[in-house]
Amino acid sequence: MAIKNNNKMSKLSAVPYHVALIMDGNGRWAEKRGLPRNFGHKRGIDNVQKVIKSAKDRGVRILSLFAFSTENWSRPKEEIDFLFSSFKKYLSENKGDKDIRFNVMGSRRGLPEDLISGIDEAVEETKDNDKIILNIAFNYGGRDEIVFAAKRIAEDFKEGSLSLKSLDERFFQGYLYDPFIPDVDLLIRTSGEERISNFMLWRIAYAELYFTNVLWPDFTAGEFDKALDSFKMRERRFGKV
């Protein structure tokens, strides 16, 4: 399903077409309560459903969630195993939602076979749903994605199927992970950190950025509305006057 982002047609947009979320603060949420980090992750996963509903109700068409980064492999094995099993369970329990089309963006290097199978099943079973695309970045890194694209371009050039004259920004995007996913309009990060953390580097070139001190498990529908209200006040010129 091709996606066209119409928000670029106007300086002020009422609703962002594509919202990306860096869901940060699960561990700190748990530590503040004297709980193991995995309790924070569980609470964070529970919160995902609330935010998806908020996004869907408000007309957001694509919601991208940063669930597991290529840098997260440095975490304790117990935590990684919990995140993997939780993600597989989440996909299994929610692939029957007729409003949501699942897309999983990222590398499959190192992922267990049962998780890969769960991803493929969820993507296949929801491919015709069109209310909202839930784009989950899992085992994902922005630089890794750009290198992935560069390698594919080099291979096509070596085989003679690509002319460098045809290589521009739009053409390059066609080599990224899931090129049908358009640029991000609004990037939200929770927990008070104000950095991008290697997330969707190509697609956030003109994204509006919104940072909040709220930890992800406490990020309510009301907090989501605050981010959308902030977006409404942004003047998006895309290099124009």
Extract the tokens encoding 213. 């001190």
**Active-site entry in 38, 72, 94, 129:** 72
- Is-catalytic flag, 183? no
DSSP tag of 73: G
Of the candidates 210, 166, 154, 155, the residue with the CA atom closest to the CA atom of residue 185: 210
- Is-catalytic flag, 47? no
Burial of 14 (0-12, 13-18, 19+ CB in 10 A): exposed
For residue 115, give the 3-state DSSP assignment.
helix
Of the candidates 192, 180, 181, 227, the residue with the CA atom closest to the CA atom of residue 208: 227
For residue 55, give the 3-state DSSP assignment.
helix
**Active-site entry in 5, 6, 7, 24:** 24
SS3 content of the chain, % helix, strand, coil (to 5): 45, 15, 40
CA distances from 53 to 46, 90, 114, 158, 195 (A): 12, 15, 28, 46, 26
Active site residues per annotation: 24, 72
